[in-house]
A = this chain, B = another copy of it.
Amino acid sequence: MKVSVFRKSHFNAAHRLNVPEWSEAKNQEVFGKCNKPNYHGHNYVMEVKLTGEIDPITGYLIDLGILKQIINEEVVDRYDHRNLNLDVPEFKNVNPTVENIAVEIFNRLRARINEHLTLGLRLYETERNFVEIEQ
């Protein structure tokens, strides 16, 4: 029987949506207040989902201590209390929409999580707007 385990984490970051190839007018038209030049920010909430088989001895799918360490190293330590546009290399040339942030997090975690486990990710930018990747 396949079981999924979820671990919820948080990071608070500043960002701004902007496509450098576009004019200021076009950026404002497409991204509205999210384009304001001096950044705004969010309390991002992230749910990491791992799916696989339960270890018959421990009853654990994974040692959550290990998962927590991976999430901290790959995401929290790098994004929390940062400016995503200015401080985080992967968003130098990638617009930090919640969709793109989720894809970057997913790829970084995927490279660290045992390949026998399926990875999913939900990322909340606000309580009302969030994204999900299921694979």
Residues of A within 8 A of B (CB): 1-10, 12-15, 17, 19, 21, 30, 32-34, 36, 38-43, 49, 54, 57-61, 63-65, 80-83, 86-87, 94-100, 102-103, 106, 126-135
Question: Is B6 within 8 A of A131, CB to CB?
Answer: yes
Chain B's closest residue to A33 (CB) is: B81
Number of copies: 6
A90 to chain B, nearest CB (A): 12
4 cross-chain pairs, A with B, having the tightest CB-CB distances, nearest first: A41-B41, A38-B83, A59-B97, A59-B95
A-B contact pairs, 21 of them (CB 8 A): A1-B135, A2-B134, A3-B131, A3-B132, A4-B131, A5-B98, A6-B129, A6-B131, A9-B128, A12-B42, A13-B40, A36-B87, A39-B83, A40-B81, A41-B41, A42-B43, A59-B95, A59-B97, A60-B97, A60-B99, A64-B129
